[in-house]
Amino acid sequence: MKKIGYILLLMLFFSNMVFAQKEANVDNLPVREYTLTLKEEMVNKAGKEVKGMTVNGTIPGPTLEFTEGEYAVIYVKNEMSVETSVHWHGMLLPNFMDGVPYLTTPPIQPGTTFKYEFPLKQSGTYWYHSHTMFQEQSGVFGSLLINPKEKTLDYDKDLVLMLSDWTNEKPKNVLRNLKRGNEWYQMKKGTSTPLNQVISRGAFGAQLDFWRQRMDGADIADVYYPAFLINGEESIDYTQFEPGEKIRLRLINGSASSQFWLTFGGKTPLLVSADGQDVVPVAHNKTFIATAETYDFIVTVPQKGKIELRAMAQDGSGTSTATIGQGKLLPAEVVSKPDKIKMMQQMAKMDMKMGAHALKFRPKKDERYEMKKEYGMQMDDMEMGHDKMNMKHSESTSDKAEMKHSNMNPPVDQTGMKKDSTAMVGVNHSKMETKKKMNDGMQMDGMDMFS
């Protein structure tokens, strides 16, 4: 039976390959070609020369710019000693071109070239990265900029800013250390919770609770990184922009495991897109960007001065900066480092149970439900029960949330664009306290869910 299963799997894979080849440029769309060459080279990103993986000689790789409606043809040449792959993150494309080796696409063997080709059915800010082993951490990633068929936003120029993290260790050694479950990385980056401080602040009980569940003290980020980068640099200046120009900053978090707080100097920027999708533009400064997310902001270069962008790692262990413009620095807000001991105390009050057994000694015994009962999250004592959220059923009936469709006029936003928006008329907002109570009950230093 296993042999039959393998044969069927191979037949499915090769039929997928044949089908993909037939899905070429049947609509004769305008073609735009790029070639990406992957090499193993010595690089210095954090004060030490180590072996990295470059794309066309750089880390990150080049920005591939297209226009919606074009046909992308991208040749990936593997000049490394190991196999590789390229995944097009967030893109709508034929399954065979997705770039996940052994699942959708064959790996690219050393000394060979693979041709990716697909129609561009979307616009926005996206990125590409290897899906092989730890190659993304070593440098195989870059950005995708896809212009819409018709421009709808008011700005003059684009600037792609790729956030990343860098380690001088071999990535496989990072994973090996993580499996040991020690606090070595936290000590190296100064984010550990010393026991004397825990005791002096009355948090020893919370610490014991964490140890019982095989957790370190309120850890936020696991890996020690000696450098956080923007477009491959810890600090970078963009002086080519003129005063009064509107710049669309396309921010991509291409890190391996880091998340960042973004803040801007000068006037509050206009947030216009998230993960490649246009949003109703809103003036917004402090923004949390998770791994693989993208956000687009429009900023206006000041007449005098340069805008500072700060990207601080979520645990406060490091920061990278970029400036846009010339002259006196307009500094960005410095986000406070999280109070990890306070967070640990708050989490202990939730009475959660984590850290289930790492080893399963009786593989054939079904212990799912017992494990869930013993180690699942216990939510009974949290301020999230229906009886504590002031949301009585009688207050949420349809007669109190009447939607008058005649009043659903799309508003005009700050860029002059009309956006579809639902105006809810007749809703008694004084009864809708859910978000406020959740915010009050679950906010932690540096981790406000609704900031």
215-237 residue pLDDT tens: 766 678 989 999 999 999 999 99
DSSP 99-151: --BTTTB--B-TT-EEEEEEE----EEEEEE--STTHHHHT-EEEEEEE-SS-
Tell me: pLDDT of 408 over 60. Answer: no
| DSSP 8-class letter at 406 | G
Lowest mean pLDDT among 171-175, 217-221, 256-260: 217-221
Which pTM was predicted?
Answer: 0.78
Selected residue with higher pLDDT from 182 and 87: 87
78-89 residue pLDDT tens: 999 999 999 999
What is the pLDDT averaged over residues 319-344? 95
| DSSP 8-class letter at 63 | -
Q: What is the pLDDT of residue 426?
A: 40
Length of the chain: 451
* CATH number given to 18-148: 2.60.40.420
Phi first, then psi: give them for residue 18, nearest 5 degrees: -65, -45
**Position 423 confidence tier, pLDDT thresholds 50, 70, 90:** very low
Q: Where in the chain is the domain with CATH 2.60.40.420?
A: 18-148, 153-349
The separation between the first and the last C-alpha atoms of the chain, rounded to the nearest angstrom, is 54
DSSP 410-449: PPB-TTS-B-------S--GGG--HHHHHHHHH--TT--T
Q: What is the pLDDT of residue 441?
A: 43
Q: Which CATH superfamily is domain 153-349 in?
A: Cupredoxins -  blue copper proteins (2.60.40.420)
Q: What is the pLDDT of residue 397?
A: 44
